[in-house]
Structure 1
Amino acid sequence: MRRPLTPPSVFTDRSDAGRTLAELLRERDWVEPLVLGLARGGMAVAAEVAVELNAPLDVAVARKIGAPGYPEFGIGAVTAHGPAIYDEHSMHLLGLTPTDLHDVCAQERTEAQRRVERYQRGREPERIEGRDVLLIDDGLATGVTATAALRALRAEGPRRLVFASPVCAMPAVARVRTEADEVLCAAQPAEFRAVGQWYADFAQVTDDEVIDLLDKGMPR
């Protein structure tokens, strides 16, 4: 299912995008669904999906590993625990090895651990094993961060692992399909430069906003 897109703005904001994505996801039958927002931008989208599916909301954390000198260009990603993953093609083009990125990887893992601790605040995370788990982000550009998060979730034994996003770059969909049981996108535009081009309001989501969404969307 694809929604016609006209840049520079399509979705009003992440909540609008979440409602659009929820329309797609509610057509499916889910078994004990759990909605996870990929922090931080994915949380506002995921909150709308959780409401529509009447499912609990929790958070997933993965951190992008940027190229030296170009931190916004993600060539890898890491979660709070587990090994880092890298885009082998980008690494080859830049002449880099994982050893070259050891320090930045360690920094991003520490930040991921900090965020997990702050978001959970001593609460046990929702059970993954045996459930239909929907990992939600606000957009899929390269797929490297989603890949790291999906691999960490897969290790916890979900019944079904789905990645869903309002807008996805076509090459990234192919990458993520190797990690998820299914990839669902409300739109896959032919021309994709950045996630933000598809939002009128793409303001950064803060830690406090993530915590507020969790407080509203999960049992305690």
Structure 2
Amino acid sequence: MVLPFADRTDAGRLLGQRLLRERLPAPLVVVALPRGGVPVALEVARALQAPLDLVIVRKIGAPWQRELAVAAVADGEAPVVEVDEGTAAATGADRDYLDREADLAWREIGRRRAAYLRGRPAMDLAGKTAVLVDDGIATGSTARAALHALRRRHAAHLVLAVPVAAHESLMELRLLCDRIVCLAEPQPLRAVGQHYIDFHQVGDAEVIAALDAAPRAGAQAAA
């Protein structure tokens, strides 16, 4: 695999081609991590002729260094909160702080789900293969929370699919899913965006347009 990818659409097309060779058990649902994972997931959904859904995750930053993730909150019937206990303790993120930030994150998750899906309920994953897609994985905290959330939705098989990821993070995430498909594992991986020529910030409008353009439920059977 030659890096960098041109953009997220390019990475998604390559990832979709690879997933077609995996012969994943049907029926399939592609689940994107917004916002950056959505353009990648759209191309995957098109390749697999599978519907596209979302699992929304919000990171909780350290008290004095907001970019350093100490926990992540994922949507579902109830919040899924994954805490990096070591980082939280080292940065002074105590239980009261985490509870307050988790509540704020949960409210933002609700706002985004309403904005993106406009009343459409989460897809039923029971008995299906859920393919979780993001534009890349560095530490893995977001993917970890998302995989736990999808497991709660009773997916029969969980597949984690990303264009680029840190090898160490994938090793940890293997315990949480049934299969991982990754196109490139550069050593070292300092930032996902370094492996894309165009890594613009994805806006809400782009997320909504991708969901509207994705295949509908039943596309696999029709194909």
* TM-score with structure 2 setting the length: 0.90
User: Are residue 19 (structure 1) and residue 22 (structure 2) matched?
Assistant: no
- The aligned amino acid for 2:178 is D
Q: What is the 5 A alignment of 1:1-220?
A: 3-5=1-3, 10-30=4-24, 31-80=26-75, 81-219=78-216
Q: What is the CA-CA distance between 1:184 and the residue it aligns to? A: 1.5
Cα offsets for 1:3-50 (capped at 9, x unmatched): 254xxxx01110011112112111012211111111110000000111
Instruction: Give every structure 1 segment of 4 or more consecutive aligned residues whose post-TM-superposition deviation is greater than 4 Å.
Output: none
Residue range with higher mean Cα deviation, 74-83 or 202-211: 74-83
Residue range with higher mean Cα deviation, 134-143 or 113-122: 113-122
- The aligned amino acid for 2:139 is T
Cα distance in 2, alignment partners of residues 92 and 125 from structure 1 = 34
Residue range with higher mean Cα deviation, 52-61 or 133-142: 52-61
Cα offsets for 1:112-154 (capped at 9, x unmatched): 1111122221122222110011000000011111111111110
Q: How many residues are matched?
A: 214
Provide the identity percentage. Answer: 41
Q: CA RMSD in A?
A: 1.5
Cα offsets for 1:193-218 (capped at 9, x unmatched): 11111111111111111111101114
Q: What is the CA-CA distance between 1:87 and the residue it aligns to? A: 1.3
Q: What is the CA-CA distance between 1:69 and the residue it aligns to? A: 2.6
* TM-score with structure 1 setting the length: 0.91
- Secondary structure of the residue that 1:128 maps to in structure 2? coil
- Secondary structure of the residue that 2:100 maps to in structure 1? helix
- The aligned amino acid for 2:185 is Q
Cα offsets for 1:165-196 (capped at 9, x unmatched): 00001121122212111221111111111111
- Could you tell me which runs of 5 or more consecutive residues in structure 1 were left unpaired when the two chains were aligned: none
Cα offsets for 1:71-121 (capped at 9, x unmatched): 222221002332411112322332433323222222111111111122221
- Secondary structure of the residue that 1:63 maps to in structure 2? strand
- Secondary structure of the residue that 1:154 maps to in structure 2? helix
